[in-house]
Amino acid sequence: PAFRLEPTAAPVAANERTERLADPGFGRVFTDHMATIRYSQALGWHDARISARAPLTLDPSTAVLHYAQEIFEGLKAYRLADGSTALFRPQANARRFQNSARRMAMAELPEALFLESIRLLVKTDRDWIPDGPDGALYLRPFMIASEVFLGVKPSAEYLYMVIASSVGAYWKGGARPVSIWVSQDYSRAAPGGTGDAKCGGNYAASLAAQSEAIRQGCDQVVFLDAAERRWVEELGGMNIFFVFDDGILSTPPLTGTILPGITRDSIMTIARDAGLTVREEPYAIDQWRADAASGRLSEAFACGTAAVVTPIGSVKANDGGFAIGGGGTGQTTQRMLDTLTAIQRGRAPDPHGWLQPV
């Protein structure tokens, strides 16, 4: 379907917008518009619009409110050095959204509709991209089971939407090394589960572990595999990399229980382009502790669209904690951050064609 463009008659005034963009943080400032597309078995994908951002009205029996048939994505649009606007690898998000839909037995949105919905929303609301080195428009495509029915079965109707949030740095106080808590009692995902789908339920299930991390004085939780409680998997909303003293990078393999991060994939590519060796291999928590103590492990970092590249300064577990390197930002971590952001913001060549102009 073609999108109906229904721009709001009451956009936020320019001076008010400037005020909101001064220190946006993450996920609190929203733009004037949203994209919506509906799906039904009878009509397929229909009723595509860009319209004023507004609350939803849902019947209390709407399926998503009961059985959590819901998926989402996260990607960013950047204002480039030359003043133009671009998205970073949106096709990869479109494909992951389809994978998530399949896992949750939902209708698959065609890639072209996903891309067009985002492109049109960014075009409409591009003035909402904050200035500053961390400024971006964070796009949040999502889809809910919208059938009004309490039977447990895949919904016959879906509502797909995209909202946009003006963001700065993900971390309060700006980019800094974070501390992480190793969850012993909670798992994020088990083999055969939904760990490699981006569904809301995974995040709901991570919150008790994240609260525990905060109680332990840490910023984030890192999950171990559910079967052996031994292999480091990922954080609640970020993938993880390890850097060894011989310059080799390693990250846990995609075995179905972690999210295949697009930042993860980009960093593996950037590192290999730079001549570094990258391994996708399991890494045990005990080995991590031993390697940090001996100095064989020199750096660790988390990565994702929201958190970009975030150094991990220290790790805490039931049986004690350990620091990583000097607890600051390691050289390879900084290099990955600088190289990635230079490509994303149009300051460096884009050899893989990752940027898509809006």
**Footprint of ligand PLP (CB under 6 A):** 74, 234, 237-239, 259, 261-264, 304-305
Contact status: 311 vs ligand COI (CB under 6 A): no
- CB under 5 to 8 A by kind: which of ligand PLP, ligand COI, none does 106 bind? none
> Distance between CA atoms of 252 and 246, rounded to whole angstroms?
18
Residue 110 is classified by DSSP as P
> Distance between CA atoms of 166 and 39, rounded to whole angstroms?
28
Among 71, 180, 267, 306, binds ligand COI (CB under 6 A): 306
- CB under 5 to 8 A by kind: which of ligand PLP, ligand COI, none does 234 bind? ligand PLP
- How many Cα atoms within 13 Å fall on the side-chain side of residue 218? 26
- CB under 5 to 8 A by kind: which of ligand COI, ligand PLP, none does 109 bind? none
Nearer to ligand COI, 48 or 306 (CB): 306
Query: At closest approach, how far in Å is the CB of 320 from ligand COI?
Result: 27
Query: At closest approach, how far in Å is the CB of 250 from ligand PLP?
Result: 16
What SS3 state is found at 225?
coil
Here's the x/- map for ligand COI, 209-238, by CB under 6 A: it reads as: ----------------------------x-
> Distance between CA atoms of 10 and 12, rounded to whole angstroms?
7
- CB under 5 to 8 A by kind: which of ligand PLP, ligand COI, none does 225 bind? none
Q: Which residues have C-beta within 8 Å of that of residue 182, sequence separation ≥ 6?
A: 221, 222, 224, 285, 315, 316, 317, 318
Write the DSSP string, 254-322: -SSSS---HHHHHHHHHHHHTT--EEE---BHHHHHHHHHHTSEEEEEEEETTTEEEEEEEEEETTEEE
> Distance between CA atoms of 334 and 308, rounded to whole angstroms?
11
Query: At closest approach, how far in Å is the CB of 265 from ligand PLP?
Result: 8
Query: At closest approach, how far in Å is the CB of 234 from ligand COI?
Result: 11
From residue 319, give the alpha-carbon distance in Å to each of 58, 69, 266, 285, 322: 47, 38, 34, 11, 10
Number of neighbouring beta carbons within 10 Å of residue 301: 29
Contact status: 74 vs ligand COI (CB under 6 A): yes
- CB under 5 to 8 A by kind: which of ligand COI, ligand PLP, none does 262 bind? ligand PLP
Give Dmax (Cα) for the chain. 63
Contact status: 304 vs ligand COI (CB under 6 A): yes
Q: Which residues have C-beta within 8 Å of that of residue 75, sequence separation ≥ 6?
A: 87, 88, 89, 90, 93, 118, 138, 139, 141, 262, 305
Contact status: 168 vs ligand COI (CB under 6 A): no
Q: Phi and psi at residue 91, in whole multiples of 5°?
A: -65, -35
From residue 356, give the alpha-carbon distance in Å to each of 29, 60, 167, 353: 24, 39, 20, 8
- CB under 5 to 8 A by kind: which of ligand COI, ligand PLP, none does 339 bind? none
- CB under 5 to 8 A by kind: which of ligand PLP, ligand COI, none does 222 bind? none
Query: At closest approach, how far in Å is the CB of 42 from ligand PLP?
Result: 33
Query: At closest approach, how far in Å is the CB of 221 from ligand COI?
Result: 12
Query: At closest approach, how far in Å is the CB of 258 from ligand COI?
Result: 13
Nearer to ligand PLP, 109 or 205 (CB): 205
- CB under 5 to 8 A by kind: which of ligand PLP, ligand COI, none does 261 bind? ligand PLP
Query: At closest approach, how far in Å is the CB of 146 from ligand PLP?
Result: 23
Catalog residues that contact ligand COI under the rule CB under 6 A: 74, 237, 304-306
